[in-house]
Amino acid sequence: MASSRNADNSASKRTGPTGVPVAEASPNAAHSQAGEYLTTAQGLRLPDTDHSLKVGDRGPTLLEDFHLREKITHFDHERIPERVVHARGAAAHGVFESYGTAKSVTKAKFLAEKGRQTPVFARFSTVLGSRGSADTVRDTRGFAVKFYTDEGNFDLVGNNIPVFFIQDGIKFPDVIHAAKPHPDREIPQAQSAHDTFWDFVSLHTEATHHVMWNMSDRGIPRSYRTMEGFGVHTFRLVNGAGETSLVKFHWKPVAGIHSLVWEEAQITAGVDPDFHRRDMADGIDAGAFLEYEFGIQIMPDDGTDSFEGIDLLDPTKFVPEELAPVQLIGKLTLNRNPTNYFTETEQVAFHTGHLVPGIEVTNDPLMQARLFSYLDTQLTRLGGPNFSQLPINCPHAAVNDMLRDGMHQSAIHTGLAPYRPNSIDGGEPLVATPEEGGYVQSPRPIEGTPVRAHPASFDDHFSQATMFYRSLSEVEQGHIVEAFTFELGKCYEQAIKERELQVLANVDADLCAQVAAGLGLPAPKGTPAEDVVLSPTLSQIVVEPGPIAGRKIGVIADAGSDLAGVAKLRKSAEKLGASVLVIAPVGGVLGRGSRKEVVERTLLTTRSVEFDALVVAGGTTPTGDIKLVLLLQEAFRHCKAVGAWGDGHAVLQDAGIGPDGPGVVVGDSVVKTFTDDLFAAIGLHRAWERAADVMASAVPPAG
């Protein structure tokens, strides 16, 4: 039964100010949107809105699908001027250098030639929130890279999650409508913790796998520099001999894959909603560039579009790295911040149809719709068809496109014959053969009856979700339980909670039982897969310290502190690309002469979420200041490295932090053993051994 709030809203939509039903009062029934059946905008009843029209259930999408085009076109133009999705973004310029190791599978020059450097522009973003939303909300992140190659622009428009919510692009407006704020109140902003989102994903169980990733730590990355990227779809690569392979694209961050913890993300959204973009911009300015290795998983193009039983055309599935290892083919370095946010970051236009010879698309029905939607959406956002002439979008290759006029045309065309063939302009522009760089799709058979359907292999919605959950560590699984409990706890409708619990019961019985207990509901029975093969590479927990470039260390000090030790710690950290910020009770300068330190943060202007580690300098006096206690306890609770040297450990003890716990580094002075231990603790990202005790201490005692 609908809630009273929803029932009232429903009634208000059907009656006018005087209480007369709108459909009766108005001769134009189309304005009322009150028809019993789903129709097109012209009133044509529709039998299906979940499948695009394809050639056979595995074939490409047909351009004649007028419903797909109308639905996507209307969706693309819903909001002006910001992006409908991925509105909140930050970007940077950089360079991609090829290792040359992809030459055997692709003739794309920017990948095949060893040492070739290609300028790039990369934009990271959240999906749901508006431009003014926070960076650290739980959400999928966009990971879009524009390669300005000598053969034309290639755009890899991916996410930080390798799978997507839906299998067919015709449902993209539906999932985004469901995930966006409720239309009656325009809340909640940039969150999935509400009824309409969980109503959709609990009814469309193909979303289950993506939801598992989003409820995991992957949904709240620590920074863009520690965020993995994926091309999501399966692509076809073509080498110089015309041989084809199917591939999945991957971005592997050199800094490792790390995330925030939930409380930390919530605090950060309040105290620094620009946390991710600030981290990237500050890091680049400081010379701590963002680095990612580019890799591919290679599968045979044998005509089945499947690999090891996995349907490669299903965007809700991924290929575990244990089955197809990621082969590294190049490195991306982001090393320059934009000069102007609007001109570059806001006006950049990515498109999955921006391809170069050697890279082709496949029949993935989500990708097929994106090939239309990405181009169409720029017509509203960027004022017409000439958006490619904006400097940030302009190819570095020579352009002669015979496209004329239109809004914001800035190219000054010469000649009299923008058509082919012609004799007036000497027959130019010429068409290029494949040997001259002409883009020609690989021949492949296409046959079948036009249908709105999907193959039977798309029906498995749970086995990979089960594999993902069971492949994670106990700590990571606990975070997923907490995330589901929080999100479903924000839903008003009891039926939605119960339906999603049934979905979880088909993923893992223990997961379902824990979430049900948190919601105070009975756990339903399900049929989860029992024989899934685990994929250890899915866990983000590391056992060996990684790089600490770009990380921030807060050093707590006062007028009596060992400032020489602070200087030594700063020097050691800077050699590894990390930065040290001095935190003191009040601003100004500590010390004098050659031994002085500028106070960069005060206890009033900072929170622990800003730092990857907190260290108390020797000689610092315990004060019992609640802001200092909170600072240290938060960092400890979030399992970050904390430390002290000399008698600074008394300040830790004042905050209830003993010297012997995991991730707690103490020493007599700032010597090499102390800094080595501290940097190793930061390189592990968190002291996860502390997590169980921290979580247990948050639970009130029984009785």
Residues with a catalytic annotation lie at: 86, 159
User: What's phi and psi for 61, nearest 5 deg?
Assistant: -80, 140
Characterize 513-526 residue by residue with b for buried, 16 or more Cβ atoms within 10 angstroms of its Cβ, and e for exposed: bbbbeebeeebbeb
For the chain, the distance separating the N- and C-terminal CA atoms, rounded to the nearest angstrom, is 36
Residue at 295: amino acid letter: G
Residue at 629: amino acid letter: V
Cis peptide bond prior to 221, omega within 30° of 0: no
Closest by CA to 408, choosing from 381, 389, 395, is 389
What is the C-alpha to C-alpha distance for residues 90 and 82, in angstroms, rounded to an integer? Answer: 14
What is the C-alpha to C-alpha distance for residues 71 and 69, in angstroms, rounded to an integer? Answer: 6
Cβ atoms within 10 A of the Cβ of 299, count? 21
Quote the strand ranges of 312-350, DSSP E. Answer: 327-336
What is the C-alpha to C-alpha distance for residues 621 and 649, in angstroms, rounded to an integer? Answer: 10
User: What's phi and psi for 644, nearest 5 deg?
Assistant: -165, 155
Residue at 354: amino acid letter: H
Cβ atoms within 10 A of the Cβ of 72, count? 22
Which H helix or E strand runs over 483? helix 474-489
Asked if 103 and 113 count as a contact pair (C-beta separation under 8 A), the reply is yes
Strand partners, 230: 159, 250
| Tokens matching residue 84 | 């409908």
What is the C-alpha to C-alpha distance for residues 58 and 458, in angstroms, rounded to an integer? Answer: 10
What is the C-alpha to C-alpha distance for residues 53 and 550, in angstroms, rounded to an integer? Answer: 48
Asked if 373 and 76 count as a contact pair (C-beta separation under 8 A), the reply is yes
What is the C-alpha to C-alpha distance for residues 638 and 654, in angstroms, rounded to an integer? Answer: 18
Q: Is the backbone of residue 208 left (phi > 0), alpha (psi -120 to 50) or beta?
A: alpha
Q: How far is CA 507 from CA 194, 213, 312, 694, in A?
A: 21, 13, 21, 28
CA angle 392, 397, 401 (to 5 degrees): 90
What is the C-alpha to C-alpha distance for residues 489 and 520, in angstroms, rounded to an integer? Answer: 10
What is the C-alpha to C-alpha distance for residues 89 and 71, in angstroms, rounded to an integer? Answer: 25
Q: Is the backbone of residue 267 left (phi > 0), alpha (psi -120 to 50) or beta?
A: alpha
Which residues, other chains included, contact 235 with Cβ-Cβ below 8 Å and sequence gap of 6+? 246, 247, 248, 249, 359, 360, 361, 362
